[in-house]
Structure 1
Amino acid sequence: MLYFLQQALNGLHIGAIYALLAFGYALINGVLHRTNLAHGAIFAFSGQTMILVAVYGWQVLWLTLPATITVAIIAALAYAALIGMVLSRNVFEPLADRSPNIIVAATLGVSIVLMELSRIAADTHDFWLPPLLSTPIVFTQGGGYQVTLTVMQLLNCLVILATLAVAGLALARSHFGREWRAVSDDPAAAALCGVDARRVFRGTVLVGAVTAALAGILAALYFGNIGFGSGLVFGLKILFVTAIGGYHAPTRAALGAFAFGIAESLWSGYFPIEWRDAWMFALLAAVLVLRMAGQETQKPAQP
């Protein structure tokens, strides 16, 4: 029982990171209505950028560890905001009315560019952060076995929970949230009602990119490193999870991604980890097919 509890607690952390990614993805998809493969790349690029800036601040500028981490986080968020602005104005807006496949190809190209920029900037080397706030906090114990989470894991979960709570509340009750729902439903009708659809679109992409960057930063702070190609894997997972939870419901997508993270952690604890991603993708695909089949059967018959 204690072993199961430990795996479930581990799932809380990775599930929280998935939830933040899914929230940002669903937020953008609500106004884009297209598959965006660049979201996971922003996640990995921001984590890599934070690590590289931290290494530079520590080894070259001789900053203290808190100072170099702070500067690195600010730099990663700034780069993510810049990427979000470039994506919205130079990729999404010109291609939004074209075939959905064009957006898929364009964002795949953006993903490759970001991965290659990270690889070139790091000179194809893996840089690692030192263990940060790795003191274990014991929740329960018995028979010589302790159920723990580190301070960093708890801090990450609290930051993500606070971010999602504020973002969800703002989306539900703020003026921007009402405009986002209007543009998501029908941008032309929203424009006729006086809503600046372009401003809402650009603001949404910017917020979505920053949430992906925050997830990448928190993941890098805990794991110490993020691989160059991990963005594509994370992006595909979030794509499938969000498809099941709902592309136009960011909060529901976040809850689905959180549950997926717990399930993934439990698989890692009880089954061969090398088969984890393959089986989890298969499970997501099966659930998606069953959900689509259920929606088809619920449609009213055509006269």
Structure 2
Amino acid sequence: MSAPRLSYSLLGGMLLVLSSMLYFFQQVLNGLHSGALYALLAFGYVLTNGILHRTNLAYGALFAFCGQAMILSVAFGYQVLWLTLLASVLFGVLAAFLYAALISHVLSRSIFEPLADRSPNAIVVTTLGILLVLSEASRIAADTHDLWLPPMLAEPIVFAEGSGFKATLTLIQVLDCAVVVAAVALATWAFARSNFGRCWRAVSDDPRAAALCGVDVRGVFRRAVLFGGFCAALAGVMASLYYGNVSFGSGLVYGLKILFVTAVGGYLSPPKAALGAAAFGMAESLWAGYFPVEWRDAWMYLFLVAMLILIGAGRDTGKVA
């Protein structure tokens, strides 16, 4: 092979490797955003289920409902109240958090507390009914139409480029990731040092013993449900701002994913659950980048089920030993 042909082949190979690395880097960047949403949802989910120790199918519905409430409130503020777009968005964010506080209040006092000592299936069935109610309420409120927000802060930020390919994230994605990192870091710090964090761990470990030590078990549980609801509302707001829409049925999909992810990682540490959920979001992004996307959810669920089986088998082996 002549020298010019060899040099061209080497150059072509280097460009191919560079393009492959940039494509992989782009999938990693995409995974940061989806992983951030999962991490926030997992953190809030474990706050409730770490004390309740029951499956809560309504959590994903709360996320979708708050996102849909935010979109409808923005449309109402812009079209009816004649607010500016920025004022309408702030109005929508406020509405999402108010709905999250109201629904969390109803769930903790009217659903979780009365059913906490009954069969685990009671809360599963009840929260499934709540999921259907919230999904139908948002569908009826939107008149079965998908309302879309205009693109916001969609300017691309280039992190790397070469061979005509650019690895980018939009400004809204970067802001979403920064907000989640700040929120989870602050919550983790407060959880480790605050009186609420200590009481939460005590109630999660043994609520009766915590009550004998003077811990207000009911108050801790209600605050945990409220903080978890705020995490769902924040995730719903960020998803709405980025995607422009949160569909009525997305609550069940997100809820099941967070349920499986936190079941694998355990309910004893919200920060660890958030870290595991972020890794799950990264794995989803990498799958979508290299394999058929229509099989993504099936294979990810299969992976989580396999992990649950292996973890359960390991625990059983440890007990036998």
Does structure 1 residue 103 correspond to structure 2 residue 150?
no
* 1:282 aligned residue: 302
Report the CA distance between 1:300 and its aligned residue: 4.5
Confirm or deny: 8 A CA contact 1:44 1:230 kept in the other structure: yes
Equivalent of 2:261 in 241, 248, 260: 241
Does 2:221 match 1:201?
Answer: yes
Cα deviation, residue 213, structure 1: 1.1
Task: Give every structure 1 segment of 4 or more consecutive aligned residues whose post-TM-superposition deviation is greater than 6 Å.
Answer: none
Query: After superposition, what is the alpha-carbon deviation per residue over 1:260-291, rounded to whole angstroms, capped at 9, x for unaligned?
Result: 00000011111111111111111111111111
Which residue matches 2:241? 221
Matches within 5 A, 1:1-303: 1-301=21-321
SS across alignment from 1:140? strand
Larger Rg: 2
RMSD: 0.7
TM-score (norm 2): 0.93
Q: Is the partner of 1:98 in helix, strand or coil?
A: coil
CA deviation vs aligned residue, 1:77-121 (integer Å, no higher than 9, x gap): 000010000000000000000000000000000100000000000
Shift of 1:296: 1.4
Letter in 2 for 1:52: L
Q: TM-score, normalised by structure 1?
A: 0.98
The whole-number CA distance in structure 2 between the counterparts of 1:292 and 1:253 is: 18
The answer for unaligned runs of 5 or more in structure 2 is 1-20
Count of residue pairs brought into register by the alignment? 301
Report if aligned partners of 1:29, 1:248 keep a CA contact under 8 Å in 2.
no
Cα distance in 2 for partners of 1:23, 1:295 equals: 24
How far apart are residue 257 of structure 1 and its match? 0.3
Structure 2 Cα separation of the partners of residues 216 and 245 of structure 1? 23
Find the aligned partners of 1:277 and 1:217 in 2 and give their Cα distance. 23
Percent identity over the alignment is 67
Task: Give the residue type in structure 1 aligned to 2:285.
Answer: S
Hey, what's the Cα distance between the residues in 1 that align with 2:216 and 2:307? 37
Letter in 1 for 2:22: L
Given residue 249 of structure 1, which amino acid in structure 2 is its aligned partner?
Answer: S
Aligned mates of 2:129, 2:320 — CA distance in 1: 40
